[in-house]
Amino acid sequence: MTTNAAMKRAGRYLVFYGGLFSLWVMLAELKIWPPYLFPTPWGVGEALYSGFKDHSYVIAIETSMQRVLIGYAISVVFGMILGLGVASNKFLEETMGGLLVSLQSLPSICWWPLALLWFGLSQNAILFVVIMGSLLSVTLAMEDGRKQMPRIYGMAGRNLGAKGFKLFWYVLLPASLPFIVTGLKQGWAFAWRSLIAAEMLYLSLGLGQILMMGRDLNDMSAVVAVMLLIIALGFIVDGIVFRSMQRHLQNKWGLTPTT
């Protein structure tokens, strides 16, 4: 039953992606556009191969991952503190709540000039942009999660002797997790986008930089190869970290999948 369904799903994937790939091959082979505008799959494959072979892609991935992880971790910690504060304090909610929502409409790369002036052309400037990209998502998600969370958990926790940090860590945080996991995921996506954008402007290692390098060298195959890499990495983190987190929560809480 389930294997049958899985087979069918795999079949659908195969048809769709096979079709997409054939379309690409066909368009490339028709040679309507020159290869420096429209690369062939083999060209992209070669670019990927040589990029990994001379370790330039590996170093770029390591650098980018390190930056985004640090930035995202900081966002999560501060976003949760801020979100809880806004959710539990009437004054903060009325004042800062509106500010947070309006700030979120600002694309994070708009912080780049400011970051350059504050931090110079440095790692910190990139981190700043990454944090500005994801902090607000996490904050708003936490605020919302804290409000959606059934109040009885907080009462039961206090009743059983939890207070202060223990109440937050053992009750409020896990109780709001199902409500904030979507926000955490969104925060990750924003962090990732902000990072690539910032790296494209700040030419020092990272995936964004080799992407720009491809443009400078007129190497369309390399550009597409790096784009594929960026997609793949984002997808892998989303699939491995967040999907498994959601699945774990669904199993624990007995929620039905929301897809």
Alpha helix (H) residue ranges in the chain: 2-30, 41-53, 56-88, 90-104, 112-119, 123-148, 151-159, 164-167, 173-201, 206-216, 220-237, 243-253
Note whether 23 binds another protein by CB under 8 A: no
Residues 6+ apart with CB under 8 A from 222: 47, 51, 210, 213, 214
Task: Name the segment binding another protein (CB under 8 A); options: 59-67, 110-118, 121-129, 145-153.
Answer: 145-153
Neighbour tally for 117: CB within 10 Å: 9
Residues 6+ apart with CB under 8 A from 162: 170, 171
Site residues (CB under 8 A) for another protein, limited to 168-187: 170-171, 174-175, 177
Note whether 251 binds another protein by CB under 8 A: yes
In the set 160, 217, 228, 231, which binds another protein (CB under 8 A)?
A: 160
Give 103 or 249: the residue with its C-beta nearer to another protein.
249
The token pair that represents 58 in the structure block: 């590996």
In the set 121, 156, 232, 236, which binds another protein (CB under 8 A)?
A: 156
Note whether 235 binds another protein by CB under 8 A: no
Note whether 245 binds another protein by CB under 8 A: no
User: With CB under 8 A, what is the number of residues at the site for another protein?
Assistant: 23
Note whether 161 binds another protein by CB under 8 A: yes
In the set 11, 98, 150, 239, which binds another protein (CB under 8 A)?
A: 150
> Under the phi-then-psi rule, with left for phi > 0, alpha for psi from -120 to 50, and beta for the rest, what region is 201?
alpha
**Least distance between another protein and beta carbon 79 (Å):** 20
Residues near another protein (CB under 8 A): 150, 152-153, 155-163, 166, 170-171, 174-175, 177, 249, 251-254
